[in-house]
Amino acid sequence: MADNQAIGLSPCTTPGPVCVLGIDLGTTSVKAALVIETEQGQTLTQSCSRETEAQADSPAAGAQGMEQDVQKIIKALNECLAAFPQEHLQRVSRIGISGQMHGIVFWKTNQGCRWTKSGTGHTFQPGEVSHLITWQDGRCSSSFLSSLPQPQSHLSLATGFGCATIYWYLKNSPDFLKPYDAAGTVHDYVVAMLCDLERPLMSIQNAASWGYFNCRSKSWNTEILRESGFPVDLLPEVGDPGDIAGRMLHDWHGIPKGTEVGIALGDFQCSVYSCMTERTDAVLNISTSAQLTVPMPLGFQPPETPDSLSAVAYFPYFDGNYLAVAASLNGGNVLATFVDMLARWMAELGCEVLESNIYIQMINAALAQNDTRLSICPTIFGERHMPEQLASVTSITASDLSLGHVTRALCHGIIQNLHSMLPFQHLKEAEVKRILGSGSALSRNEVLKQEVEKIFPFPVIYGKDVDAAVGAAMVMLHRRYKPIVQDCLI
């Protein structure tokens, strides 16, 4: 799918079927999908994607910071919606929104955005809003994290988690927090602006991703936080994924005023929701990061305390269910870093080459190189269970230094790293019968697909690169979501 145009798959103009808009605010792009309910199930009618190019400097945290300009994210969102035909948007009755988990954005209540009227209805622009501090942020060192109170949560705390970031500002730059009285993920922010919420509302999925949240009691660790001076008034209210957050205060790009908007959801859970149809399915999602997951048995409850050394975490899903997840910090971002490195080298040698052309050539070179003895451990961003682990290259020989060898080894390393976190044997014990592949980095990379099939001896079915947006729409179609089995859009 082209990033710069809306793709229509079938007309969304027939009377009758409910039409739902799904939005995903990802790490590098914004995606939107229009999905209708028919007698045959869900049908994707339109989709659109825009790169955000939102990377921003982090004056307070320096090189360890990873921030994004919310203005640019909303600009990409507006461009996505403007690409859809007006007559389709006018039929939207519900909106589901997902996005990158863990990160945090701050804003001033009642001043978070400015609504303006245009030819296609109202749109909003961010107002008194901070940068988004993303899940990739590295300002919280291991020693800093160890100095914080122990959470009452089954998930370990890590740098890039919302509550850890608030603690960092509290201790290092407390004046930063003074202008703001609300906080959430960037997708919580969008829901709050659309529905004019006095206080942001966050799903259990996003709350768990911030840290200091107890999924069993569905509550923040308020007493632990308050005793350490944490500004608990910044914590959003929490609701169940699939519930309605509110109704739109204005029409928006032609979508009618009063349209229902769901509580913002985790992008990973929505990617899984878009394709998992059986409890024997495993889902492999590779976008900026990478995740491999299997559903836990019905009724499963995670342990009271986390195992900080475990590569597998238990993410809240829907209807009280959990997913066992190997959540790697190293996915498509590793390939993007490699492309950027090649582009910089070429520039230093006096050759300017578009990164998109480099990517195409390196994938083609790797497709012509079926195997290599070169071994790359790709963990340039560390892992949450091993934050100090860095990348390495071994078994280097003079015959294995071509672009094809290196790209093949890099793709193999990304999949092998996931396998080390959640091995084939564990999938077999979970009675997995097949793997469903999703995410933009995987859907566009035939070499990664080949490596998946080499390392995991299961049938593999690949989805689309708008899976999270589709999943968010499906959740809203179901409204009161079904258990783990539902219709599939692959």
Taking only the tens place, the pLDDT of each residue in 371-401 is: 999 999 999 999 988 888 899 999 999 999 9
Pairwise CA distance, residues 427 & 429, whole Å: 5
Phi first, then psi: give them for residue 147, nearest 5 degrees: -85, -10
Residue 315 · residue 268 · CB < 8 Å:
yes
Residue 50 · residue 466 · CB < 8 Å:
no
At residue 482, the pLDDT reads 40
> Among residues 467, 447, 440, which one has the least CA distance to residue 2?
440
**Residue length of the chain:** 490
Pairwise CA distance, residues 245 & 220, whole Å: 19
Banded model confidence at residue 17, pLDDT cuts 50, 70, 90: confident
Phi first, then psi: give them for residue 162, nearest 5 degrees: -55, -50
> Among residues 424, 426, 471, which one has the least CA distance to residue 452?
424
First to last CA, the chain: 15
At residue 222, the pLDDT reads 97
Banded model confidence at residue 440, pLDDT cuts 50, 70, 90: confident
With vertex at residue 450, the alpha carbon angle to CA 449 and CA 453, rounded to the nearest 5 degrees, is: 90
The per-residue pLDDT of the chain, averaged, comes to 91
Pairwise CA distance, residues 26 & 460, whole Å: 24
Pairwise CA distance, residues 343 & 349, whole Å: 10
